[in-house]
Structure 1
């Protein structure tokens, strides 16, 4: 997939999310949007995000109905990723991404026919890099007092894929 994307943008997004184990996956439900914590697969990010889920879940049914999702990360930076989900049932892929933690967490094994991979094809990402707490407090004070001058390092950026 990386061929279609700007290598620098892929590397930037990879650096922003690489140390964040848990993401929030937002799907569309008949009642509105719903976010759930998901464990991101330890895969070298190339423009796609990978997650395990079970077919007998509301999340799976919601994705079948509407495959547009958002994935958000919070850590040393904040990242919001938009994309479209592809359901992958390939046994070799499931085996490749599987580890013992999933066996305990999902109470199953990689060869369970109920287990699938969610492949999020990233279309765009927006991120905010955080600074020190002192810097953030100073910037908040400037905004509150009206003496806010835009500091380029505090602005958020958008990446289109």
Structure 2
């Protein structure tokens, strides 16, 4: 079976900018954590702040994802819309009331059933390492490309520029 990441990783600033642009307007991401029995994914609200290589989410300490990240900080964050982005990295918890207040909106109060100053509320900072994206102006072209790869008849990614790229996010400028 063909590996979807069979081409070289790039740290080109334009590729990092492409990742930033692809995830900018996607409301919901899927956060995947490692558990004792496998992987678990759940939807998380995307924070609308400038992507500098780190991703931020809000959660409560009394959740399974909090315990899972404490045990194993490796995570994946997936975005899907007209394009697809899969970002891997490590998660850490950050206690920063000022940042919580900046990220907070009334929707979180309803979703999390708590105010922003609740001591049970914590930030998840995902220190991103790599992102892989699939971009296409044509959904049919993308589905065809992915199906060919799945059955081991994938075309050379270099022959379809911009369709699939793996990006080293460690070189993204951090604030």
Question: Computing the radius of gyration over CA atoms, which structure comes out larger, 1 or 2?
Answer: 1
Distance in 1 (CA, whole Å) between partners of 2:80 and 2:142 is 16
| Superposition pairs of residues 15-94 of structure 1, within 5 angstroms | 15-94=21-100
Deviations 1:136-156 (A, max 9, x none): 47768988xxx9865413641
> Deviations for 1:70-124, whole angstroms, at most 9, x for unmatched residues?
0011111111100011201111111111011101111111100000010101100
Counterpart Cα distance in 2 of 1:39 and 1:52: 8
Residue 152, structure 1, aligned to residue 143, structure 2: no
- CA shift at 1:134, angstroms? 4.6
Partners of 2:74 and 2:90 within 8 A in 1: yes
Query: TM-score by structure 1 length?
Result: 0.85
Cα distance 1:132–1:53, how it changes in 2: closer, same or farther (>3 A)?
A: same
Give the match's secondary structure for 1:153: coil
Q: Structure 1 pair 10/134, CA: closer, same or farther in 2 (3 Å)?
A: closer
Contact 2:136 2:163 in 1 (8 A): no
Match of 1:13 among 19, 27, 47: 19
Higher relative contact order (CA 8 A, sep 6+): 2
Q: Which runs of 4+ in 1 moved over 6 A?
A: 140-143
Gap runs ≥5 in structure 1: none
The answer to whether the Cα contact below 8 Å between 2:135 and 2:142 also exists between their aligned partners in 1 is no
TM-score normalised per structure 2: 0.79
State the Cα RMSD in Å.
2.6
Distance 1:152 1:106, change over 3 A: same
Does the CA-based 8 Å contact 2:58-2:121 persist in structure 1? Answer: yes
Aligned residue pairs, count: 156
Q: In 1, distance between residues paired with 2:36 and 2:25?
A: 33
Q: 1:100 aligns with which of 106, 117, 121?
A: 106
Alpha carbons 1:24, 1:36 under 8 Å: kept: yes
